[in-house]
Amino acid sequence: MPRNARPSAYVAGMGTAMPGGPLSQSEIWHGYFAPRLDGDPVAERIFRSAGVQRRHAAVNPLVEDVSHWSTERRMRRYLAEGLPLGKEAVGSALDDAGLRPDEVGLLAVISCTGYTTPGLDIHVAADLGMATDVQRLIVGHMGCYAAIPGLGAVADYVVARGRPAVALCLELTSLHLQPLTDRDGRIDRGQVVSHALFGDAAAAVVVAPGAPSAGALEVVDVAALTDPATTDHMTWDVTDLGFRMGLSPEVPAVLARHVRGMVTGLLDRHGLSIADVDGWAVHPGGPRILSTVAERLELPDGALDPSYAVLAERGNCSSATVLLVLDALRAAGRPRPGRPAMAMAFGPGLTLYTLLLRGS
């Protein structure tokens, strides 16, 4: 190895798990929200324009109304529902990478929708048969972009220690259904937007050192940008009734100001341009987010099709979503060997995270 060469970490396997059968956007609207909102036409338009056709829910609102559950009750349900999903996603990712659980050196669990102690990291590691000395990391409450800093931390471990690692994103947004009206009985449009978009999912990634196998993705670089003037634009507050989303309609405008400079800055560091990128895994926070990214980066038609497809079939699953898109991108044969790909996600802060990958 050349003296200044840096060892590489590779995404060697991916796995996903969804709770229950998919629920259509229409049945969610007509079966739960429309009766509670008196068929409000504005709320119905929000549901119809969310870009979501179906999604999964660990707690089906057509069966259980959790909107007035205590936070304690929601957290107990998080472990009960999350553990089998986490085991399924991690097990699938390890199988995809051709690794045994006891070969894993680090397990990182990433979530903003639930917390327990002992946590999912301990339960998943034990149930799958990981070694008792496996290191563990929890990345909590960072929101929709958390998969990228989590994956960056895991890749750093792989480079430093020369051992495989796993990152698991597990989000059960259905646990945080909120009351739809304020104290005066007025409809909370912000909550309607949130509940029109979010779904549940688990997604796991195995990162390994050494020579890559065909189809592996080299983790090249990570970049972050936070605009502290917009901290109130996207919030995730812990309340007595679970976690409550705050979402400003100004988020796409803030993204429009920053996304091109953010992307080109990362690419410039590696002698690349936007035109060199062979695949885009952009977090589908909503249709306006995706259209803003495509417009500001001047992407060709179809470049964000994997993101639109995940939004339509899964909804916005918070931190797990960008990994779902990356998995769809990989299944489509992108990026091709030697070509770069870019993953991108956005969340509270307002924060943008980008990840540069290279096909092998």
* Separation in Å, CA 109 to CA 81, 90, 120, 168: 15, 10, 7, 5
- Chain segment 267-286, per-residue pLDDT in tens: 999 999 999 999 999 999 99
Contact assessment for residue 330 and residue 129, using Cβ atoms and an 8 Å cutoff: no
The verdict on 221 and 247 lying in the same domain is yes
Same domain, yes or no, for 318 and 191? no
Do 94 and 229 lie in one domain? The reply is no
Q: In which element (H, E) is residue 222 found?
A: strand 217-226
Note whether 199 and 234 are same-domain residues: no
Query: With 90 as the cut, is the pLDDT of residue 189 above it?
Result: no
The CA R_g of the chain, rounded to the nearest whole Å, is: 20
pLDDT, tens digit, 9 for 90 and up, residues 65-90 = 999 999 999 999 999 999 999 999 99
pLDDT of residue 1: 35
Question: What is the pLDDT of the chain when averaged over all its residues?
Answer: 95
* Residues 233, 157 share a domain: no
% of the chain at pLDDT higher than 90 = 90
Residue where one domain finishes, among candidates 209, 237, 266: 209
Domain containing residue 355: CATH number: 3.40.47.10
pTM > 0.85: yes or no: yes
- Shared domain check, 117 and 32: yes
The answer to whether residues 159 and 7 touch, using CB atoms and an 8 Å cutoff, is yes
What the block records as the tokens of 330 is 């990989």
pLDDT value for 47: 96
Q: Are strands 351-359 and 165-172 parallel, antiparallel or unpaired?
A: unpaired
Q: For residue 23, which of 313, 273, 242, 244 has the smallest C-alpha distance?
A: 313
Q: Name residue, tokens 């903003």.
A: 112
Q: How many domains does the chain have?
A: 2
Residue numbers annotated as active site: 144
